[in-house]
């Protein structure tokens, strides 16, 4: 960010002399530009002269006193679980309730809670029942897709794991909707509630998923409950937001018309607000479902069963074949859930009912008949062994695993010229210098430089906030690790923004490019964060670089979409005016479209940063260092628990810092418009 | 005029913080809009309005955009909460009513037709028209029977199972009209119901309202910014500007004796011969006029009198309730027509 701004400050030469230049000297750079440039100068000078001093480095296995006392917290919770009233009356019952629901679904679809017996509904029953549900809430196409994908899980040898993941997702989505829809309705109906919960939702969404797993596992113990609760926290914001948005988006005149007939509040909700917001609410359910799948796979880190665990174990043993096989089934599960819920939201569209090809009656008869078929399949799966457990001799998963493994080995062996040299070039050429610029500059110089930049972007308040965030990070004893994470995040975000601008401008300027790219980007966004690591692990091996590439690919769709929308939203008249005065396309882009989309670009950078940060942290699983490594180590080694918790907090504060600074950049106009009259007060 | 159906007394609606202080404060309530905004940051959309609407009357509130007319009509059923004053319906003050009482009023006494229709897109025409009946708890069979009658009345028979977005604007507004009529209210409020329609459809819909008014005799309060619509429909017209009444009277009173320059400008393009009655051009009877000259009613529209006056060899006498009030001749008619020409 600051690099870009500095460029603007120095790149001032006039392209050609103009007569006005003689009257007016050159345009002076704004105060903000000067401040940002001086922040960079402070930083560089600090690096050059005080290189390597006060870097606050803490070796991976060493702890601070704070970390040790956080370890004590672990012990304290264990000691107080039985008799502290908060645990006794709130947390433990909550855990028991969630566990009960989760176990209900797990025993139905996956296995008995002990894992020894077969599930209530065997694979054939699951295929039949879920296929029927897809038919009932969606259409025949998605039902067929569901059945095919489920059977394919069997062939992959992952049916059991997939049903575990599915059962957890269903539990989490159910609880999410139970909490989220009423909250969304309240926020939609009462502006005051909306004002209250919006900042909370913002915060929940900027929080990297990784961070609250450890504390939750500590409080709710390892098991389905903590995985489900973590998932609910992550998956609830979309459905709350969209429900509220759907209700608030109802045209004022429709609401007024309903009021003019004397509706009570409840009547208004049932006859007007819920039906009219139905489509948006179902879209929220779709987004929450996708978020839930993403989180359930990551919850494998706190021992949630299912596909995520297969991936985690494979990543830890660098078994690319198994990781790809399981990653593929996560992708397929994501596609299945996405398509079915999208079809359901189409069905919920007002007027969808009258455009159907089959009449309502035929549809009911069809549903009744297929339901009977599904129930017969369920019955079979409860009585016959072949229908209960997927036949092992049909397992082609091993073939996939071996093929991928050998392909990956071959790539790493034979294309190393390409992959390794690319990786090394980027690592030594860009990553290492930038990282040492951050880690080897004395911390007080960096704090000063960042505070100065924050002051330039958002005034004293922002400056104080960033300083406080950095202060907390220093207090947590993880300054150096934070700077490693920050370096990776900034490098990845820069690439994301380049991609965002290139593709976003292409999409914003051409409806056809948009049409081609958008479905791909949408698909990219529905994939759980986790699976992005897998293919790059196969290509580049376990390094920091892999995590950064995965982060770039994970964050690029958001940045591209936001930029494209920003470019497309520019009034066509302005562009037309620029073209009619003889601008070349390049001039239109650089002189009109990008400057006008400036705030959108800052917003894209903001979202890109948040996504990249989340992914860079998860990237610790494939060799990225920094805070993510501390968190993962905290999961594994109880002696590092406190440090992992501190690292989680450091990630939160780093996230807040980056979020607020980019938001401030997005909010402030490029230059202050001088107000016409001098201040009257 | 028989007993009023709706009486509005000293009604105020002030938007903005602390707006409720302004009506009671003689210093502030005397300011004009711009000064008030400057001094307090408040915007008085309706200021101290008083008027009566008689039973069975079509009362038109007319003004340009921003004059406060839409706010006024919403204050009548408290879709917008008035700041102060009284709205008496059947002798009871709507402003004092509790929520339940207010809902009862909206359900049975006053219905509203909106500029942008406000139909529920997820419901069929039948469900939209029967919506009000559903809200007040009518049984399904009863409300569908009633709704079908109304749908036929507003000329939408055959479209019961259509959805709003399958209908043209005019037909959508017929649904809106049907919804208002279905509850059989005493009064129907119209908020610029035809402004969003194109001119031909608008004319049809105006004719429809006139027909329904004749058939059902309901009291109507009609808000519009279109003077010709106001003159066409209104028994009486109230002209608003900046939240205040400028003039209130019948159409020919407004055209014949505008209260100020503002109204004069407003009505200057009206075809006077179409609006004014003979009363406005009557001169004293001259001695030369024969006693057996033709007699016309003073309430006759000038245009309708043209043929009779032109054919008559002598001036024509004008009577009001059996008494001769004056005479008119070709010149007086021609002068009206000439002024109209000049204005056009």
Q: Are residues B104 and B209 in the same domain?
A: yes
Q: Which of A410, A429, A457 is the last residue of a domain?
A: A410
Sequence-separated contacts (24+) of B233-237 with Cβ below 8 Å = B233/B58, B233/B60, B233/B206, B233/B209, B234/B58, B234/B59, B234/B60, B234/B62, B235/B54, B235/B57, B235/B58, B235/B59, B236/B57, B236/B59, B236/B60, B237/B59, B237/B60, B237/B61, B237/B62
A668 pLDDT band (50/70/90 cuts)?
low
**A258: closest CA of chain B, how far (Å):** 8
Does residue A395 contact residue A163 with C-beta atoms inside 8 Å? no
Task: Identify whether B42 is part of a domain.
Answer: yes
Task: Identify whether B105 is part of a domain.
Answer: yes
Q: Which region, left, alpha or beta, applies to residue A351 given φ > 0 means left and ψ of -120 to 50 means alpha?
A: left
Encoding tokens for residue A425?
């070039």
Task: Identify whether B221 is part of a domain.
Answer: yes
Per-residue DSSP letter, A16: S
Task: Identify whether A148 is part of a domain.
Answer: yes
Query: What integer pLDDT is reported at residue A662 of this predicted model?
Result: 86
Chain A residues in contact with B112 by the CB 8 A cut-off are 257, 260
Query: What integer pLDDT is reported at residue B341 of this predicted model?
Result: 56
User: How far, in Å, are A175, A199, A247, A459, B120 from residue A274 at the CA level?
Assistant: 19, 24, 7, 43, 12
State how far the Cα of A12 lies from the Cα of A629, in Å rounded to an integer: 43
State how far the Cα of A620 lies from the Cα of A632, in Å rounded to an integer: 7
pLDDT tens-digit map of A318-370? 888 888 888 889 989 998 998 999 888 888 776 666 666 677 888 889 889 99
Tokens 């645990």 correspond to what residue? A87
Q: Are residues B34 and B97 in the same domain?
A: yes
Q: Domain range holding A150?
A: 84-410
Residue B114 at interface with chain A, using a CB cutoff of 8 Å: yes
**B119: closest CA of chain A, how far (Å):** 6
Q: Are residues A658 and A640 in the same domain?
A: yes
* Orientation of helix A213-220 relative to helix A641-667, angle to 10°: 130
Task: Map residue B59 onto helix, strand or coil.
Answer: strand
Q: Are residues B299 and B337 in the same domain?
A: yes
Averaged over B87-93, what is the pLDDT?
88
Residue B58, phi then psi, degrees to nearest 5: -100, 110
Q: Are residues A221 and A129 in the same domain?
A: yes
Chain B residues in contact with A272 by the CB 8 A cut-off are 120
Range name among A176-180, A596-600, B143-147 with the lowest pLDDT average: A596-600
State how far the Cα of A124 lies from the Cα of A382, in Å rounded to an integer: 9
Structural domains of chain A, count: 2
A542 pLDDT band (50/70/90 cuts)?
confident
Query: What integer pLDDT is reported at residue A524 of this predicted model?
Result: 80
Best probe of the A interface among B75, B111, B122, by most A CBs < 10 A, is B122
Task: Identify whether B34 is part of a domain.
Answer: yes
Chain B residues in contact with A263 by the CB 8 A cut-off are 103, 135
CB–CB contact B79 A351 (8 Å): no
State how far the Cα of A336 lies from the Cα of A313, in Å rounded to an integer: 24
State how far the Cα of A212 lies from the Cα of A617, in Å rounded to an integer: 13
Task: Identify whether A75 is part of a domain.
Answer: no
pLDDT tens-digit map of A304-314? 888 988 988 88
State how far the Cα of A306 lies from the Cα of A292, in Å rounded to an integer: 13
CB–CB contact A351 B131 (8 Å): no
pLDDT tens-digit map of A604-660? 888 888 888 888 778 888 877 788 888 888 877 878 888 888 888 888 888 889 888
CB–CB contact B135 A350 (8 Å): no
CB–CB contact A350 B122 (8 Å): yes
Averaged over B75-90, what is the pLDDT?
90
Averaged over B45-69, what is the pLDDT?
89
Q: Which of A364, A379, A410 is the last residue of a domain?
A: A410
Q: Are residues B209 and B338 in the same domain?
A: no
Query: What integer pLDDT is reported at residue A27 of this predicted model?
Result: 62
Task: Identify whether A551 is part of a domain.
Answer: yes
Sequence-separated contacts (24+) of B31-40 with Cβ below 8 Å = B32/B242, B33/B242, B33/B243, B40/B16
Does residue A612 contact residue A554 with C-beta atoms inside 8 Å? yes
CATH number, domain with residue B334? 3.10.580.10
In the stretch 160-199 of chain B, residues with CB closer than 8 A to chain A read 163, 165, 176, 179, 183, 189
Q: Are residues A447 and A334 in the same domain?
A: no
Q: Are residues B335 and B200 in the same domain?
A: no
State how far the Cα of B280 lies from the Cα of B301, in Å rounded to an integer: 10
Task: Identify whether B121 is part of a domain.
Answer: no
State how far the Cα of A327 lies from the Cα of A322, in Å rounded to an integer: 8
Helices (H), A87-158: 92-105, 123-137, 140-156
Q: Are residues A212 and A263 in the same domain?
A: yes
Averaged over A95-120, what is the pLDDT?
79
Residue A637's CB: how many other CB atoms inside 10 A?
12
CB–CB contact A261 B111 (8 Å): yes
Q: pTM value?
A: 0.80
CATH number, domain with residue A197? 1.10.3720.10
Q: Are residues B27 and B83 in the same domain?
A: yes
Query: What integer pLDDT is reported at residue A184 of this predicted model?
Result: 94
* CB-count exposure of residue A429 (10 Å: 0-12, 13-18, 19+): exposed
Name the average pLDDT for chain A.
83
Q: Are residues B221 and B285 in the same domain?
A: no
Residue A424 pLDDT greater than 70, yes or no: yes
Q: Which of B227, B251, B270 is the last residue of a domain?
A: B270
Residue A71 pLDDT greater than 70, yes or no: yes
- Chain B residue with Cα closest to A260: B106
Task: Identify whether B23 is part of a domain.
Answer: yes
B197 pLDDT band (50/70/90 cuts)?
confident
Chain A residues in contact with B163 by the CB 8 A cut-off are 350-351, 354
Encoding tokens for residue B113?
């037709």
Chain A residues in contact with B116 by the CB 8 A cut-off are 251, 253
Query: What integer pLDDT is reported at residue A681 of this predicted model?
Result: 33
Supply the DSSP string of A41-73, one letter for each residue: HHHHHHHHHHTTSS-----TT---HHHHHHHHH
Per 3-state DSSP, chain B is made up of helix, strand and coil in percentages (nearest 5) of: 45, 25, 35
Percent of all residues in chain A with a pLDDT value above 70, rounded to a whole number: 91
Task: Identify whether A2 is part of a domain.
Answer: no
Q: Which of B227, B242, B270 is the last residue of a domain?
A: B270
Q: Are residues A105 and A194 in the same domain?
A: yes
Task: Identify whether A308 is part of a domain.
Answer: yes
Q: Which of B211, B242, B270 is the last residue of a domain?
A: B270
Does residue A229 contact residue A98 with C-beta atoms inside 8 Å? yes
Nearest to A517 by CA among A496, A529, A502: A502
Q: Are residues B233 and B321 in the same domain?
A: no
Q: Are residues A508 and A610 in the same domain?
A: yes
Does residue B71 contact residue B45 with C-beta atoms inside 8 Å? yes
Q: Are residues B308 and B236 in the same domain?
A: no
Residue B101 at interface with chain A, using a CB cutoff of 8 Å: no
Task: Identify whether B237 is part of a domain.
Answer: yes
Q: Are residues B33 and B18 in the same domain?
A: yes
Task: Identify whether B116 is part of a domain.
Answer: no
Q: Which of A384, A410, A436 is the last residue of a domain?
A: A410
Q: Domain range holding B323?
A: 273-343
Best mean pLDDT range from A11-25, B10-24, B172-186, B295-309: B172-186
A400 pLDDT band (50/70/90 cuts)?
confident
Name the average pLDDT for chain B.
86
CB–CB contact A257 B119 (8 Å): yes
Averaged over A252-268, what is the pLDDT?
88
Does residue B196 contact residue B116 with C-beta atoms inside 8 Å? yes
**A253: closest CA of chain B, how far (Å):** 5
Q: Are residues B245 and B287 in the same domain?
A: no
Task: Identify whether A189 is part of a domain.
Answer: yes
Best probe of the B interface among A250, A260, A351, by most B CBs < 10 A, is A260
Query: What integer pLDDT is reported at residue A25 of this predicted model?
Result: 53
Per-residue DSSP letter, A88: I
Q: Are residues B36 and B101 in the same domain?
A: yes
- Chain B residue with Cα closest to A262: B103
Query: What integer pLDDT is reported at residue A8 of this predicted model?
Result: 38
Structural domains of chain B, count: 2
Q: Are residues A627 and A599 in the same domain?
A: yes
């Amino acid at each position: 960010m600051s690099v870009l701004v500095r460029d603007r400050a120095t790149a001032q030469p006039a392209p050609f002399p103009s007569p006005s230049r003689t009257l007016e000297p050159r345009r002076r750079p704004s105060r903000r530009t000067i401040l940002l440039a001086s922040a960079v100068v402070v930083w560089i000078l600090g690096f050059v002269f005080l290189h390597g001093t006060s870097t606050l480095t803490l070796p991976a296995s060493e702890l601070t006193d704070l970390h040790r006392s956080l370890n004590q917290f672990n012990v304290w919770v264990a000691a107080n679980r039985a008799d502290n009233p908060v645990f006794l009356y709130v947390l433990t019952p909550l855990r028991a309730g969630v566990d009960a629901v989760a176990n209900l679904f797990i025993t139905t679809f996956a296995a008995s809670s002990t894992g020894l017996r077969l599930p209530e509904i065997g694979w054939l029953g699951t295929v039949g029942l879920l296929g029927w549900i897809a038919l009932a809430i969606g259409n025949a196409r998605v039902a067929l897709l569901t059945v095919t994908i489920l059977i394919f899980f069997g062939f992959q040898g992952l049916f059991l794991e997939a049903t575990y993941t599915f059962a957890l997702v269903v539990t989490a989505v159910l609880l999410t909707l139970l909490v989220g829809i009423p909250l969304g309705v309240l926020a939609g109906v009462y502006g005051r509630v909306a004002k209250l919960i919006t900042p909370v939702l913002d915060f929940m969404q900027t929080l990297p998923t990784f961070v609250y797993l450890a504390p939750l596992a500590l409080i709710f113990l390892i098991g389905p409950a903590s995985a489900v609760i973590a998932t609910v926290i992550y998956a609830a914001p979309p459905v709350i937001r969209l429900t509220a948005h759907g209700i608030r988006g109802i045209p004022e005149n429709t609401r007024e018309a309903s009021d003019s007939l004397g509706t009570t509040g409840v009547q208004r909700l049932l006859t007007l607000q819920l039906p009219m917001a139905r489509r948006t609410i179902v879209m929220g359910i779709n987004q929450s479902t996708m978020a839930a799948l993403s989180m359930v796979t990551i919850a494998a880190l706190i021992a949630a069963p299912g596909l995520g665990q297969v991936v985690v174990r494979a990543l830890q043993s660098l078994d690319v074949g198994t990781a790809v096989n399981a990653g593929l089934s996560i992708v397929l599960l994501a596609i299945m859930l996405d398509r079915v819920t999208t079809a359901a939201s189409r069905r919920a569209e007002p007027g969808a009912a009258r455009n159907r090809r089959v009449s309502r009656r035929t549809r009911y008869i069809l549903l009744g008949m297929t339901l009977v078929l599904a129930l017969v399949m369920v019955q079979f799966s409860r009585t016959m062994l072949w229908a209960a457990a997927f036949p092992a001799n049909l397992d082609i998963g091993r073939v996939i695993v071996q093929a991928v493994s050998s392909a990956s080995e071959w790539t790493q062996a034979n294309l190393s010229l390409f992959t390794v040299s690319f990786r090394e070039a980027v690592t030594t050429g860009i990553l290492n210098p930038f990282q040492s610029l951050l880690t080897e500059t004395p911390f007080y110089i960096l704090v000063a430089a960042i505070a100065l930049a924050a002051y330039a972007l958002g005034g004293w308040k922002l400056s104080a906030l960033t300083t406080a965030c950095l202060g907390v990070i220093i207090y947590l004893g993880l300054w150096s690790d934070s700077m490693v994470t920050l370096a990776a995040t900034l490098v990845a975000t820069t690439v994301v923004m380049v991609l965002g601008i290139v593709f976003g401008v292409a999409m914003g300027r051409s409806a056809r490019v948009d049409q081609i790219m958008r479905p791909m980007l949408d698909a990219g966004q529905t994939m759980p964060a986790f699976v992005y690591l897998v293919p790059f692990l196969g290509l580049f091996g376990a390094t920091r670089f892999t995590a950064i590439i995965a982060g770039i690919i994970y964050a690029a769709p958001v940045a591209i979409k936001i930029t494209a929308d920003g470019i497309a939203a520019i009034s066509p008249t302005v562009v037309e005016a620029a073209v009619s005065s003889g601008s070349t396309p390049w001039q239109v882009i650089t002189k009109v479209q990008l400057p006008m989309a400036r705030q959108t670009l800052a917003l894209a950078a903001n979202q890109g940063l948040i996504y990249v940060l989340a992914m860079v942290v998860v990237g610790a699983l494939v060799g990225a260092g920094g805070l993510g490594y501390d968190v993962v180590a905290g999961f594994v080694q109880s002696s590092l628990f406190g440090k992992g918790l501190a690292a989680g907090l450091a990630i939160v504060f780093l996230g807040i810092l980056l979020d607020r600074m980019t938001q401030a950049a997005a909010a402030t106009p490029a230059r202050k418009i001088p107000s016409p009259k001098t201040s009257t007060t | 005029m028989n007993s009023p159906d709706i009486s509005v007394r000293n009604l105020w609606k002030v938007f903005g913080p602390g707006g409720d202080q302004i009506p009671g404060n003689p210093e502030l309530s005397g300011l004009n809009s711009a000064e008030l905004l400057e001094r307090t940051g408040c915007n008085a959309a309706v200021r101290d309005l008083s008027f009566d609407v008689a039973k069975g009357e079509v009362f038109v509130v007319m003004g340009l955009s921003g004059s406060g007319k839409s706010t006024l009509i919403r204050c009548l059923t408290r879709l917008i909460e008035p700041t102060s004053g009284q709205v008496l319906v059947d002798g009871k003050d709507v402003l004092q009513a509790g929520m339940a009482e207010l809902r009862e009023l909206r359900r049975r006494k006053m219905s509203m037709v909106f500029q942008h229709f406000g139909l529920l897109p997820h419901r069929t025409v039948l469900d939209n028209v029967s919506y009000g009946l559903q809200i007040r708890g009518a049984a399904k069979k009863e409300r569908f029977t009633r709704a079908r009658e109304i749908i036929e009345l507003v000329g939408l028979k055959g479209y019961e199972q259509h959805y709003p977005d399958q209908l043209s604007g005019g037909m959508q507004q017929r649904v809106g009209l049907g919804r208002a009529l279905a509850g059989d209210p005493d009064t129907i409020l119209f908020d610029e119901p035809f402004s969003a329609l194109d001119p031909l459809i608008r004319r049809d819909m105006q004719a429809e309202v006139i027909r329904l008014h004749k058939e059902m005799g309901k009291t109507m309060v009609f808000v519009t910014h279109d003077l010709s619509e106001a003159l066409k429909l209104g028994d009486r017209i109230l002209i608003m500007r900046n939240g205040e009444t400028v003039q209130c009277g019948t159409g020919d009173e407004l055209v014949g004796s505008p209260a100020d320059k503002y109204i004069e400008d407003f009505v200057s393009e009206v075809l006077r011969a179409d609006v004014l009655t003979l009363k406005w051009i009557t001169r004293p009877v001259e001695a030369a006029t024969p006693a057996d000259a033709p007699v016309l009613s003073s309430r006759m529209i000038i245009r309708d009198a043209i043929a009779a006056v032109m054919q008559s060899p002598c001036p024509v006498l004008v009577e009001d309730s059996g008494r001769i009030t004056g005479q008119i001749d070709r010149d007086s008619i021609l002068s009206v027509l000439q002024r109209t020409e000049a204005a056009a």
